[in-house]
Amino acid sequence: MAVYTDFSDEELADFLRGYDLGTVVSLKGIAEGVENSNYLLVTETGQFILTLYEKRVDPADLPFFLGLMDHLAANGLNCPVPIHDRQGNALNVLANRPTAIISFLRGISIRRPQPEHCQAVGHALADLHRAAEGFELRRPNALSVESWRPLYEACDGRADEVRPGLGDEIEAELAYLEAHWPSDLPTGVIHADLFPDNVFFLDKKLSGLIDFYFACNDMLAYDAAVCLNAWCFEADGSLNVTKAHGLLSGYASVRCFTPAEIAALPLLARGSSLRFLLTRLYDWLTVPEGALVVPKDPLEYYRRLRFHRSVTDASAYGLGL
């Protein structure tokens, strides 16, 4: 959201002495990513993103995130990669924070995705799932089904402040999903947060994916369900079936969904809706009064949840069109 951690030009110069990047030409704090402090760093040799990991990121997860970017890029995915220092380390310390320098990815994110963007994202998501194969580190999904009830409980019974009756609906959904959440679908490394912010385009072509700080091991089709929610709904809350078809067929052009995945898609989409409903609800209820950050509307995901509950099978998403 903003830059949190500040450091002096001397601290930066010390930090950069370990790298082969030449002298600093420019440094600007950038508003990218909610969790960390990010700077655009320009040196004699190019542009980079300097990221100081703040307390919401567990330092124990950083080798997973940074190693994953290296692995994905080595397997042909367009994504930023950590710059290694002369000793080969991707991670160092600046201003008492674990800090990495990440390569600069060209492109800008799309505010109002069209069906062709959705198709490209589906394709890129499956590319990511393929490229991640063979990555040896593991990280469980800290925001999967087991986390949803504790997250709801942290909202302290205040869901109805946002919408009367919301608490009861969430509890019923929690009970249903806990009882029916699939456990036998194909798994792998998923992005878990592939919103339009995190996908860059250049001249209408997808130029790469960024922000792997929610990546984890989980069901591959759950990642497609996250994207369905993030890319294929209109501002009025309705599903755009053309976009959904584009996204899922783009995915399937690289990796076929199994019949079990297709059957589970409405359920996975419900789960993904509840996950974002709950994190947004928690942020909505706990944002300090007067803070500059406008929390995202939790009800956007309540409406998606209701839609997916009304769906009988994946044909509602344009699969098989």
**What does the binding site for its own copies look like in residue numbers (CB under 8 A)?**
1-3, 7-10, 12, 23-32, 40, 42, 47, 104, 106-112, 201-203, 288-293
Decide whether 30 or 185 has the Cβ nearer to its own copies: 30
Decide whether 154 or 287 has the Cβ nearer to its own copies: 287
Decide whether 31 or 60 has the Cβ nearer to its own copies: 31
- Residue 48: CB minimum distance to its own copies, A: 12
* CA 300 – CA 270 distance, rounded (Å): 13
Decide whether 3 or 263 has the Cβ nearer to its own copies: 3
Residues in the chain: 321
**253-286 b/e with 16+ CB inside 10 Å = b?**
eebebeeebbebbbbbbbbbbbbbbbbbbbebbe
**Cα distance from N-terminal residue to C-terminal residue, the chain:** 39
Query: φ and ψ at 206, to 5 degrees?
Result: -65, 125
**210-223 b/e with 16+ CB inside 10 Å = b?**
bbbbbbbbbbbbbb
* CA 199 – CA 277 distance, rounded (Å): 22
Burial of 209: CB neighbours in 10 Å, binned 0-12, 13-18, 19+? buried
Decide whether 108 or 142 has the Cβ nearer to its own copies: 108
- Residue 109: CB minimum distance to its own copies, A: 7
* CA 57 – CA 103 distance, rounded (Å): 20
- Residue 40: CB minimum distance to its own copies, A: 6
Decide whether 37 or 119 has the Cβ nearer to its own copies: 37
- Residue 125: CB minimum distance to its own copies, A: 20
- Residue 137: CB minimum distance to its own copies, A: 29
* DSSP assigned state of 57: S
